[in-house]
Chains A and B, each alone.
Chain A
Amino acid sequence: MLTNAAIEALVRDDEVHRDAYTSPEVFAHEMTHLFANTWVYVGHASQIAAVGDFITTTIGTAPVVMVRHTDQSIRVLHNRCPHKGTRVANDPCGNTGKFFRCPYHAWSFRTDGSIAAIPLPHGYNDTGFKQSEAAKGMTAVGAVHVYRDFVFARLSPHGISFDDYFGASLSSLDNMVDRSPVGKLEIAGGVLRYMHKCNWKMLVDNLTDTCHPMVAHESSAGTAVALGKTLPAMHPAVEIYAPFMSPYTFYEGMGIRVWPNGHGHTGVKGSIHSNYSTVPGYFEQMVAAYGEDRAKAILDENRHNTVYFPNMTMKGPIQALRIFKPIAADRTLVESWTFRLVDAPDQLLERTILYSRLINAPSSPVGHDDLEMYERAQDSLHSDANPWVNMQRLARPADSGPVVNGTSELQMRNQFQAWKHFMTVTP
């Protein structure tokens, strides 16, 4: 068990100790504290449209099931039988009807987690069972909040409220949802699952790291640019790859905005997503739905990556969301989800799917570029020569935010201040 003082010693103003990335003990503390005290993305309401629909997932390393209860509300339960601990729902998704039934001893539970039936119930008469932990059934997580169909949960029953935790950062989610003419998204197209042998925070750090694309991705994006010059017409993949090779000045101008509690985003003034070709008919649909001024305002907001601390990120302009699921200090599962803008042209979903495959798939050259850097770091951080990871770029009073030069490492520092807080706070 790490003391608060030991945790706090890992985070300096602009350096982070490598143990934050490599230590199994720190990782265990993250699971019991950071991932319990923060609001973590669980899933999307469109995945469980009907009563009894469920998905299984994790919050930190805790297995949970998100289910549509019989009263239509969304519940998030610990996916563990209160009897012997067996995982109750095992498929990635499905419909369980009105009850979950444990496959081991047939204990059954309503979709709010309460016990519906236990075989041979008289065997628990006069045992004090009603006062037991097991009698609580499949326990619900501490708190659930559904924001525009995005489901978040806090494992701890006490702590910061959803509104206080996310505050103005919800503007990024709003923009993604507003891009549908009817203000609604649906998960579509399947999920890409990419295993990373590195700490989950390396991926979070990378989201606002704008000094790496033109270097680490020269192999993929640079090759795409060179190949594009030999083609008779713009290829859809080149259109997506090419902006990665933008010069430093472009990324400096993009800007970074930070919010409290570790949230932030790149692309305050445009981004690599600003200049995609238009999809016929879409703008007209948006004008009809919102009026011209509002439609333009929605579509002119082209934020790049928004970090929803601790482990979710999204891209409004292309309706993509990634979750960095921590498995161990040196192992992270990256899930890439794509959304359909309800009532918008299919070409937008097609572009989203193309983007995720080109950039975030196990088969993606850009993914290969990044993962190589993370895995090299995960290994070489074991060097004792220098135990500190540097996050000092533009760490000076004149560049203190909330909106700063797009090559600043301010958001990385912001994340680690939030990390330190939620690792040590008493909920």
Chain B
Amino acid sequence: MIAATDLIAFVQHEARLIDEQRFEEWLALFTEDARYWMPLDPAQTDYKLHQSLYIEDPVLLRLRVERLKGAKTYSQKPKSRCHHLLQTPLVEQADHTAGRFQTWTPFHYVETRLDEQTLYAGWATHTLVLVDGALRIQLKRIDLVNPDSAFGSIQLFM
């Protein structure tokens, strides 16, 4: 039986893995059909015929992780670092029969490189499913408060 505290701990653990750049463990949290989605429009429902900042399947997430490690990844010389500050996730759906859950988590995210520090704010909605008894991310939707603003390079993960 999955309790609310399990869901909250999962979301907090996921953010910690990103901040500590434990990307192999982070990738293992996603299902095979997962999506990491950051829409360009707060009300967006479609990601095929409308642009997004991110709509990554596990292959594209893997590509990013491999690239970050690369010896010729010049935009990571020196490397970026990041920091999540999460509000306690709210459990929005818990379908124990189907093994399907949804949490909603307001966050502040800071990405930094060299002397620059950029603050992003938004809400992460996790759709979590049970795979062999363990929670996995089927969809992580990140709605920035200002997805339509012009940004510089966003290189890590929110």
Interfacial chain B residues near A231, Cβ < 8 Å: 59
Is A219 at the interface (CB under 8 A from chain B)?
yes
Binds A, one of B71-79, B88-96, B131-139: B71-79
- Complex interface: chain A residues within 8 A of B151 (CB): 193-195, 362
Instruction: Please judge, given known A-B contacts A227-B63, A353-B51, whether A190 and B40 are in contact too, CB under 8 Å.
Output: yes
B57-71 interface with A by 8 A CB criterion: 59-60, 62-64, 66-67, 70
Closest chain B CB from A187 CB (angstroms): 11
Q: Is the CB of B152 within 8 A of A219?
A: no
Least CB distance from A361 to B in Å reads: 6
Q: Which residues of chain B come closer than 8 Å to A223, judged between CB atoms?
A: 63, 66-67, 70
Closest to A346 in B: B49
- Could you say which residues of chain B place their CB within 8 Å of the CB of A194? 150-152
Surface stretch bound by B, among A138-146, A280-288, A363-371: A363-371
A333 interface hit (Cβ, 8 Å): yes
B60 / chain A contacts, CB cutoff of 8 Å: 237
Q: Is the CB of A371 within 8 A of B152?
A: yes
User: Does chain A have a CB within 8 A of B38?
Assistant: yes
Give the interface centre of B50, B54, B60, B153 by most chain A CB atoms within 10 Å: B153
Do B59 and A365 touch (CB < 8 A)? no
Q: Does A268 contact B (CB under 8 A)?
A: no
Expressed in whole angstroms, the Cα–Cα distance for A372 and B75 within the complex equals: 5
Interface: B149 (CB within 8 A):
yes
Bound: A367/B149 CA distance, A = 17
| B51 touching A365, Cβ below 8 Å | no
Determine how close the nearest CB of chain B comes to the CB of A124; give it in whole angstroms. Answer: 40
User: Beyond A193-B151, A195-B152, A227-B66, is A369–B74 a contact (Cβ under 8 Å)?
Assistant: yes
Minimum C-beta distance from A92 to chain B (A): 8
The answer to whether B75 touches A368 (Cβ under 8 A) is yes
A219, B74: Cβ atoms closer than 8 Å? yes
B153 touches A220 (CB 8 A): no
Query: Is B41 an interface residue, CB under 8 A from the partner?
Result: yes
Within 8 A of B (CB), among A29-56: none
Residue of A nearest to B113 (CB): A372
Task: List chain B residues, Cβ under 8 A from A190.
Answer: 40-41, 50-51
Proximity string of chain A (221-256) to chain B, C-beta cutoff 8 Å, 1 when within and 0 when not: 011101100010001011000000000000000000
Residue count of chain A within 8 Å CB distance of chain B: 41
Interface string of A209-223 (1 = CB under 8 A from B): 000000010111011
The interface centre, meaning the residue of A194, A222, A224, A363 with most chain B CB atoms within 10 A of its CB, is: A363
Q: Given A219-B67, A357-B55, A363-B154, is A189 in contact with B148 using a C-beta cutoff of 8 Å?
A: no
Q: List residues of chain B with CB within 8 A of the CB of A367.
A: 153
Chain A contact surface mostly? helix
Q: Hey, which chain A residues are within 8 Å of B74, CB to CB?
A: 216, 219, 369, 372-373
Q: Which residues of B from 107 to 158 have beta carbons under 8 Å from A?
A: 148-155
- In the bound complex, how far is the Cα of B60 from the Cα of A219, in angstroms? 14
CA of A237 to CA of B72 in the docked complex: distance in angstroms?
20
B47 (CB) vs chain A CBs: closest residue: A353
Residue of B nearest to A231 (CB): B59
Q: Is A350 positioned at the interface, with any CB of B under 8 Å from its CB?
A: yes
Chain A residues, Cβ within 8 Å of B72: 218-219, 222
- The answer to whether B48 and A353 have CB atoms under 8 Å apart is yes
B49 adjacent to A349 (CB under 8 Å): yes
**Residues on A with beta carbons closer than 8 Å to the beta carbon of B55:** 357
Which residues of B sit under 8 angstroms from A373, Cβ to Cβ?
A: 74
CB B133 to nearest CB in A, in angstroms, measures 27
Query: Given A193-B149, A362-B53, A362-B154, A219–B62 Cβ distance below 8 Å?
Result: no
Q: How far is the CA of A194 from the CA of B59 in the complex (A)?
A: 24
Determine whether A271 belongs to the interface, using a CB cutoff of 8 Å to chain B.
Answer: no
* Distance of B75 from chain A, by nearest CB (Å): 4
By a CB distance below 8 angstroms, the chain B residues around A356 are 51
Is the pair B49, A188 in contact by a Cβ cutoff of 8 Å?
yes
The residue that B150 contacts in the complex, of A193, A237, A346, with Cβ under 8 A, is A193
Contacts of B153 in A (CB 8 A): 362, 367-368, 371-372
Going nearest first, the 7 A-B pairs with the smallest beta carbon separation are A372-B75, A193-B150, A219-B73, A362-B151, A368-B75, A190-B51, A195-B150
Starting from the known contacts A353-B50, A362-B53, 15 additional A-B residue pairs (CB-CB under 8 Å) come to A188-B49, A189-B51, A190-B50, A192-B51, A193-B149, A223-B67, A238-B59, A333-B150, A357-B54, A362-B150, A362-B151, A363-B53, A363-B54, A368-B153, A373-B74
> 16 pairs across A/B with beta carbons < 8 Å?
A192-B40, A194-B152, A216-B74, A219-B75, A227-B63, A333-B150, A353-B48, A357-B51, A362-B152, A363-B38, A363-B154, A368-B75, A368-B153, A371-B75, A371-B153, A373-B74
